[in-house]
Amino acid sequence: MNNVRTRKKVQTLIPASILALGLLSACGSNSDAGGNGSVASPNTASASPASGEATASSAPTGSDASAQDTEAFTISVASWNLGDEPLGIVKAYREAFEKAYKVKYPNATIEYKNTPGEAYFDLLKAQMASASAADVVQFQSAQLPLFAKAGYIADLSDMPFVANIDGAPKTQSSYGGKVYAAPFDLNSNGVWYNRKLFEDNGIQVPKTWDELVQTAETLKSKGITPFAGGFKDAWVASMTVSVFLPNEYGSDTFEKDVYNGTKKLNGPEIQAAFGKLQQFVDKGYFGSNALSNGWDLQRKDFEDGKAAMIIHGPYIGGLVNSEMKDSGGMETGFFALPSDKGEPLLSVSVGVLTGVNAHTKNLQRAKDLVTAMHDPDAIVIRDKDAGVFPAIKGIDIDYKEVGNKDFLSVLGSTKSMIQGQFMPASVGDVYAKLFTKMLAGKAFSPSWLDEADSAFVRDKGLVAAPEQ
């Protein structure tokens, strides 16, 4: 993500290889599952395995053919994850929403301006400031308040998708009571596990912190690394720390309290999270190669059965099975990191937002393209095999991966919060550095967190303040 740099270190920007598939994402809040479809803090996230068919009546649809605009024109879309990738999922998605768009605009030409990875966000910032950005732009939720306040993006409050978003999707798509973007997906990170290894070793999914520790001890006694480590890559280290934080916050308002000065990042809450990470490091739960392995080798250890669990986002189920298709794949499962303070608190956030350049000369056409990009049939094509879960209600997908169905169930039954809204990227950088220091053999000291608190104080002006 981005605060004007990119807030990727706090909420974790997944590398371009995953972004190409849209595998950045997480929780699908589809039809109601014991709730109202919201992912609001600290309420439960509503998500449910579904029929596999798009419900066009309850999600944004293509434009009405009766109001057809036959003029030939070119309209542009800027993103970091609309480029072609090996499985052809993104290409099929583009073709699907182009088809929906051309119901109303049969002679439109859509120009894609795709810039992979972090470079996109720096480019977008410059183009927004110079009024030279594409007609339709994709960005991440930390940028939205800054873009909206500056008048860079158009108000989309009158768009049909607005009736089908609430909770975290609506919060992160809005500023000042207005909706400025369509939320594509949600992110959430937790613990993925190899079902066969658990079953073969008589292990049940742990519900408490003590049970998680016992699970790790059992696996270690069998010669199996409990958690695959890949912390050579700083984004993996930062993301892992972020998973340990919410359970220690004590409240879903903790980060807002830090921003407002009533809590500090060197206080007992963050100390407790790093204390648990130190426990895992000391006991060898991340394996002996945790610091020398990057993301690719981390994933390989999990796929090869050398490690039973891996802490990552919703892309794991689909990605692992795609890479293991020649060997029969893997039945994965998913659970929220257990807490020693009661029920776990899961961080949920919007991964991709689609908005309209306020300076476009094709305002209505751009708004209609946003609608087409979230056409139910197109979203099903994009999400079904890519480990992506729609943020807009009414788009129901029958995921093939068992782990993805687990993910939906966990999202529908676990308290959640929006993490990282008010934290500058530098804080995540510090967290990753401190965790890496622990993996290198240094014992955690609470005084280390003074650096995180100082980074926050120095850079808090780079993020939008909480709305009062």
Residue of higher predicted confidence among 37 and 235: 235
CATH superfamily of 8-187+350-400: Periplasmic binding protein-like II (3.40.190.10)
Question: Measuring CA to CA, how many Å separate 118 from each of 115, 173, 433?
Answer: 8, 21, 19
CATH number for the domain formed by residue range(s) 190-347+424-461: 3.40.190.10
Beta strands in 252-371 (DSSP E): 307-312, 332-335, 345-347, 349-350, 353-356
pLDDT category of residue 7 using cuts at 50, 70 and 90: very low
Alpha carbon distance 335, 316 (integer Å): 13
Chain position carrying tokens 């049939």: 377
Which residues of the chain are in CATH 3.40.190.10 domains?
8-187+350-400, 190-347+424-461
**pLDDT over threshold 80, residue 455:** yes
Region 136-156: what's the mean pLDDT? 94
Question: Residue 270: CA atoms inside 13 Å, Cβ hemisphere, count?
Answer: 26
Alpha carbon distance 201, 220 (integer Å): 11
Alpha carbon distance 140, 184 (integer Å): 10
**Residue pLDDT, tens place only, 355-392:** 999 999 999 999 999 999 999 999 999 888 777 889 99
Model pLDDT, residue 29: 29
Cα end-to-end distance, the chain, whole Å: 23
Model pLDDT, residue 45: 42
pLDDT category of residue 33 using cuts at 50, 70 and 90: very low
Beta strands in 320-461 (DSSP E): 332-335, 345-347, 349-350, 353-356, 415-417
* CB 436 within 8 Å of CB 231: yes
Kindly state the percentage of the chain with pLDDT values over 70: 85
Torsion angle, CA of 292/298/304/310, rounded to 10 degrees? 130
**Residue pLDDT, tens place only, 152-203:** 999 999 999 999 998 889 989 999 999 999 999 888 999 999 999 999 999 9
- Residue length of the chain: 468
Model pLDDT, residue 167: 83
Model pLDDT, residue 397: 87
> In this structure, how many other beta carbons lie within 10 angstroms of the beta carbon of residue 202?
7
Pairing status of strand 174-175 against strand 178-179: antiparallel
Alpha carbon distance 100, 183 (integer Å): 18
Model pLDDT, residue 401: 84
Closest CA to 172 of 164, 160, 163, 182: 182
**pLDDT over threshold 90, residue 28:** no
Torsion angle, CA of 59/392/68/132, rounded to 10 degrees? 170
Q: What b/e string do you get for 75-90 counting C-beta neighbours within 10 Å, with b at 16 or more?
A: bbbbbbbbbebeeebb
* CB 374 within 8 Å of CB 169: no
Chain position carrying tokens 């500056």: 150
Model pLDDT, residue 20: 43
**Residue pLDDT, tens place only, 393-432:** 888 888 888 899 999 889 888 998 989 889 998 999 999 9
